[in-house]
Amino acid sequence: MTLDEASKTPYTIDTEPFYLDTDNEIRMFEAAAAARLPVMLKGPTGCGKTRFIEHMAFRLKRPLITVACHEDLFASDLIGRYLLKDDETVWVDGPLTRAVRMGAICYLDEVVEARKDTTVVVHPLTDNRRTLSIDKKGEVIQAHPDFLMVISYNPGYQSVLKDLKQSTRQRFVSLSFDYPEPEDESRIVAIEGKVDHDTAARLVGLAGKIRHIREHGLTEGASTRLLIYAASLIRQGIPFKGACTAALCQPLTDDDRLQETLNDLIDDLI
């Protein structure tokens, strides 16, 4: 796929991603989008934030541009750069600039991980100005009316060094996410992992117990994604216990005592 093709289509989501509304968050997101308010999605790993934003992009029929933030991501990675191409200097828009121009949803995943100079870019896009300043081109872009800034944030991770400043936080309507209800999650695991409902329900039951012991030492519970992994292994012929060990227990922790506890939980199920 070349750049030109990429700037036209690839951000459109063509098939409806499966998502089950749990706390009216679809309605709330639609309201925020209608009022052009930036949105922050809060919640633990793998509880469905990414899936939700894909679902909303499909629903609102807007392209979605996702950027996974990390501590070496600078503002220029978001905005764009001059590149040499066949002896010519060509400006290439970064993902944020593309979103601003085309009226996409720009989803900055785990935004606190990024370099702090991203703040200077986010602020004027999240107040009544709705502008993006490309200093290197001396250009100020007025955001497309459909442009929507969405960030995600995992409260469990934050330390003193990596925290959203109040002056940034207070620019976003915030939706809080948690794992889906058992019945909903079973449906998701059955569909995505291509297993029967019974197996899915057993996996979700196990996940519930694992999430319950979270306070006893696990930093996070098992994500829905891991349940789907376990289901996929089972579908490949791996026995239930082995699949759970490889896809649920081992990824969660390196602590031997916690592994034992997790194994006990599995054994209780068989």
What residues numbered 211-270 form the site for a copy of itself, per CB under 8 A? 219-220, 222-223, 225-226, 229, 232-233, 235-238, 242, 246-247, 250-252, 254
Q: Do the beta carbons of residue 54 and residue 41 sit within 8 Å?
A: no
84 has which bridge partners? 89
Chain centre to alpha carbon of residue 84? 33
For residue 119, the minimal CB distance to a copy of itself (Å) is: 5
E strands present in 73-230: 80-85, 88-93, 105-109, 131-134, 139-142, 148-153, 173-176
Near a copy of itself in 178-217, by CB under 8 A: none
40 binds a copy of itself (CB under 8 A): yes
140 binds a copy of itself (CB under 8 A): yes
Q: Do the beta carbons of residue 185 and residue 224 sit within 8 Å?
A: yes
Near a copy of itself in 106-125, by CB under 8 A: 109-110, 113, 115-120, 123-124
Spell out the SS3 assignment of 172-204: CEEEECCCCCHHHHHHHHHHHHCCCHHHHHHHH
Near a copy of itself in 56-85, by CB under 8 A: 66-75, 77, 81-85
For residue 86, the minimal CB distance to a copy of itself (Å) is: 8
Of 15, 61, 89, 215, which lies in the binding site for a copy of itself, with binding defined by CB under 8 A? 89
What is the residue whose two structure tokens read 């916690």? 258
135 binds a copy of itself (CB under 8 A): yes
For residue 221, the minimal CB distance to a copy of itself (Å) is: 9
